[in-house]
Amino acid sequence: MDIANFEEMKRYVGFGADDARALKGLLPAVTPRMDDIVDEFYKVAARHPAAIATFTGGAEQIARQREALRKWVATLFTGEYGAEYFDSRCRIGRAHVRVGLAQHYMITATEVIRAGLVDAIRRADVPDADSKIQSLHKLLALELGVMLESYKASYSKRVQEREREAVERKLTRAEHLAGIGQLAASLAHEIKNPLAGISGAIQIIREGLGADHPHSSVLAEVMGQISRLDAVVKDLLVYARPSDPRFESCNVDVTVRRILTVLREEPTVQGVPIDYVNTDTMPKIQADEAKIEQLVMNLVLNAAQACVGGGAVTVTTAFDDDKVSLAVRDSGHGLDDTIRARAFEPFFTSKAKGTGLGLSICQSIVEAHKGSITLESEVGRGTRAVVDLPRRQSASS
């Protein structure tokens, strides 16, 4: 807002030279009551904690604000309402943003001041009081218009600055994660082939020793650790070098059943009850079946690992005209709000083991399918992951 807008506002409410002269002539009538008007304002404000909460400096700040308010009231009756006056009102709006005063208190505070001034004018038996009070109403309408507009502009600027800072932080983090991802991919690539060679050598040694050899159990543990490292390497490569999905006809129900059959043989899943609730007539969707398999596997493994020591997993599928839904619920330990908010961040994990890439990979798969994934959790009551996938992909996908 600029001075041209202010002049337009004056024309809109019909505020002119006669109003300016009328207001200047009211100064002697209102000056004796100025302190009473300010006192009444602060009595009203004191009854509303949210309004007085902005005075964090205690009695000293309130004393300064009282004097500032008194000067503001006095400047209503200067008779000069040009650029300097306009600038001072803009500064007031910006100051209210700085101290955190809500806009509605600006409106109600102006009404308190207006009532006090009208009472002072009436008590002083000012000639042609109604006409002069009307001039005061016009000016206070202009006051509010300028202060609210400058408040809005200042508030919008502050929001934009915060959003810009948030975007910059995200970009910095994204660049950092991209660097980590590339480094991880390079390391994973270097590890993958030697790891395969070690695995093959251990298997040959195991076969040569025989099942009854005292070192067989040690070699079995080594093979288990190699398998764990191989899974980590695969996760790193999938995260750092994701491939575009190949959309084909896919039945999510069939895919879920197949993955659950495999997972029930996994050591980390054995002993955890898994219930599957589905719609028998699940339609086919356009999806990359291999990626949907990985999605289901990661979600169910996460849920099962949360139930170690007690708990169960329920997998549910459903559909409507536009999408199919997959929900994986566990009755495990659950996540607090801080961990849940960061659950999809790459490399973030609250587990003793793992890369922290499982849910991040799930999110990437879902986003590549133009779907959505959400996480609901409550400490002590478990977690529920919900995936919605469109039944059909757009031509540009």
Class of domain 3-165: mainly alpha
Instruction: Report whether 89 contacts 143 (CB < 8 A).
Output: yes
**Average pLDDT, rounded, for the chain:** 82
Q: Spell out a b/e string for 117-133, using b for 16 or more CB atoms within 10 Å of the CB, else e.
A: beebbeebebeeeeebb
Q: Which H/E stretch holds residue 356?
A: none
pLDDT at 170: 66
Contacts of 122 (CB under 8 A, 6+ apart): 129
pLDDT at 38: 84
Q: Where are the beta strands (DSSP E) in the chain?
A: 248-251, 274-277, 284-287, 313-319, 323-330, 372-378, 382-390
User: Greater confidence, 381 or 351?
Assistant: 381
And the tokens for 209? 């020793």
pLDDT at 314: 94
Amino acid letter for position 315: V
Q: Spell out a b/e string for 260-284, using b for 16 or more CB atoms within 10 Å of the CB, else e.
A: beebeeeeebeebebeeebeeebee
Instruction: Report whether 51 contacts 45 (CB < 8 A).
Output: yes
pLDDT at 264: 82
pLDDT tens, residue by residue, 24-54: 999 898 899 888 888 888 788 777 776 666 6
Phi and psi for 378 in degrees, rounded to 5?
Answer: -145, 130
Q: Return the half-sphere exposure (C-beta side, CA atoms, 13 A cut-off) of residue 189.
A: 9
Which one is the CATH code of 248-390: 2.60.120.480, 3.30.565.10, 3.20.20.70, 3.30.460.90?
A: 3.30.565.10
- pLDDT band, residue 366 (cuts 50/70/90): very high
Q: Where are the beta strands (DSSP E) in 308-354?
A: 313-319, 323-330
d(CA 329, CA 306): 10
User: Greater confidence, 95 or 184?
Assistant: 95
Per domain, the residue ranges of the chain are 3-165, 170-240, 248-390
pLDDT at 312: 92
Architecture of domain 170-240: Orthogonal Bundle (1.10)
User: Greater confidence, 213 or 59?
Assistant: 213
Entry pTM: 0.49
Residue owning tokens 């910095």 = 172
Do the domains spanning 3-165 and 248-390 agree at the CATH topology level? no
Contacts of 287 (CB under 8 A, 6+ apart): 245, 247, 248, 250, 252, 369, 389, 393
pLDDT at 271: 83
Amino acid letter for position 335: L
d(CA 155, CA 100): 10
